[in-house]
Structure 1
Amino acid sequence: METRKRSLIKAVIWNLIGLAMMAAVGLAATGSVAVGGTVAVINTALGLVLYLVYERVWANIGWGRHV
């Protein structure tokens, strides 16, 4: 089972990658750094919270684990 700290670090790193990609897509789609950046930050914040919840739920599910 993963610790909460490990889940948090994984989520933060994954979301930093997602933030960079979303900012690039937002900039390309809107032509605006401000709008693209705002969309990227909102998306990343929501994604981080949902990912942490998702990881913690799966950490408590024993299905498919081999001990």
Structure 2
Amino acid sequence: MIAQMLLKNKEKSTYKADSTGEKPIRSIAKALSWRVIGTLDTLIVSYILTQEITVASLIASVDFLTKMVLYFFHERLWNKIKWGK
């Protein structure tokens, strides 16, 4: 049953894989998961340095958005590079 659901979801996908077989949605998921980890680190370090949760939260929020977008495009670019594959 689970396998059938996964196969149906795979067939329904409208995203096309690149030459490595990785779809853009996977890059988005990876960017989000990595940014959660990175943002928690930024929040903790910012709080330690500023001792203000408001400032630390603002820094972490901006960091989350900008680095997630940068990571997505970085990942997509590296998927186009043949070197090391």
Which amino acid is the alignment partner of residue 29 of structure 2? I
Mind listing any 5+ residue stretches in structure 1 that lack a counterpart? none
Which amino acid is the alignment partner of residue 6 of structure 1? R
In structure 2, how many angstroms separate the alpha carbons of the residues matched to 1:37 and 1:25? Answer: 11
Residue 30 of structure 1 pairs with residue 50 of structure 2: yes
SS at match of 1:55: helix
Which amino acid is the alignment partner of residue 49 of structure 2? A
Residue 7 of structure 1 pairs with residue 23 of structure 2: no
> For 1:40, which of 60, 78, 84 is the aligned residue?
60
Pairwise CA RMSD of aligned residues?
0.7
The structure number with the bigger radius of gyration is 2
Which amino acid is the alignment partner of residue 56 of structure 2? G
Q: Give identity over the alignment, percent.
A: 32
Residue 20 of structure 1 pairs with residue 72 of structure 2: no
In structure 1, how many angstroms separate the alpha carbons of the residues matched to 2:83 and 2:38? Answer: 29
Cα displacement (A) at 1:64: 1.3
Give structure 1 regions of 4+ aligned residues with deviation exceeding 4 angstroms.
Answer: none
